[in-house]
Copies of this chain bind each other. A is one copy, B any other.
């Protein structure tokens, strides 16, 4: 915002070429020797040249979420929006996920729009099948990014995640206190970091391989996972999301099993309406406001040129105990 606008002539001077050549490189015109092009590109980078006067655009920050269907994502977006607004920034939200446009497409768009920074919530960095290339473009464009619930070493930025290991540990401790030993885990696709981390934490607690089932993060996914886990005699189900938990409860109900009488179910996220479900859901709540504040603070610091700490900050989740968990049935120790 303060630096005087970098002129083409200066880039030319540094790269030791004419302004004409710099112009050609900038506009990706043919007819420039590769070596020359590289020298000019280096100079552009070094001087942080921007075609458009950077300060011209409004103070604008983009938040990306995979979809709006999952209340957690919208809660994060809402909370981040409030924090940004309080700090005088405008927020635009992009749904860059499986449906609709891919995140990389949006990143290019946001670079073109001249946003000052990006907050990626549960972005493609949490997806093992995705490469982080587009974030390198962002870096190259000098736009800082911070990441919520997604992490990848080698990408520049700050990282803020809710601890999946703690979430699993707390839930298991709660269920064990009720006497449950046959505890099952139902998560979505393992390609997503939170699912994988929960599965790993679960195994580390000594549970056998077949007690962890991976389906999808939907009601139907929860239902299918619950079916398998109930078939194999589990009395308590730990779910990767609230909607999966609702699916699990539905499956229990369709088998004539009572929740929490026969089966205990724990959700994840504490979505807005969980107190009103039947039974009210015991679930794990991510500390959304604290995470949002940390992410916004880090982003604004980065925009102001402060160096980012690349360590992932793990936040402590809370177990919200409601009606879907209870003591294990005494006369029910299956083989």
Contact = CB atoms under 8 A, between A and B. Distances in A.
Interface in A68-94: 68-69, 71, 74-75, 77-78, 81-82, 84-85, 90-94
A179 interface: no
A142 interface: no
Nearest to A63: B93
A6 interface: no
B67 A78 contact: yes
A109 interface: yes
Given A57-B112, A68-B77, A90-B109, 18 more contacts: A58-B109, A62-B92, A67-B78, A68-B75, A68-B78, A68-B93, A74-B74, A81-B99, A81-B100, A84-B100, A85-B101, A91-B94, A91-B100, A92-B94, A271-B273, A273-B273, A276-B278, A277-B278
Closest 6 CB pairs of A and B: A278-B278, A85-B100, A93-B93, A68-B74, A68-B78, A92-B92
A208 to B, nearest CB: 30
A145 interface: no
Contacts of A276: 246, 249-250, 277-278
A60 interface: yes
Interface residues of A, number: 43
A95 interface: yes
Contacts of A331: none
A93 B92 CA distance: 6
A56 to B, nearest CB: 8
A105 B93 CA distance: 16
B272 A277 contact: no
Nearest to A84: B100
Nearest to A95: B81
Contacts of A95: 77-78, 81, 91, 93
A79 to B, nearest CB: 9
Interface of A: 57-58, 60, 62, 67-69, 71, 74-75, 77-78, 81-82, 84-85, 90-95, 99-101, 105-106, 108-109, 112-113, 243, 246, 249-250, 271-273, 276-280
A99 B74 contact: no
A263 B140 CA distance: 62
Nearest to A56: B112
A98 to B, nearest CB: 11
A320 to B, nearest CB: 16
Given A273-B277, A278-B276, A68 B68 contact: yes
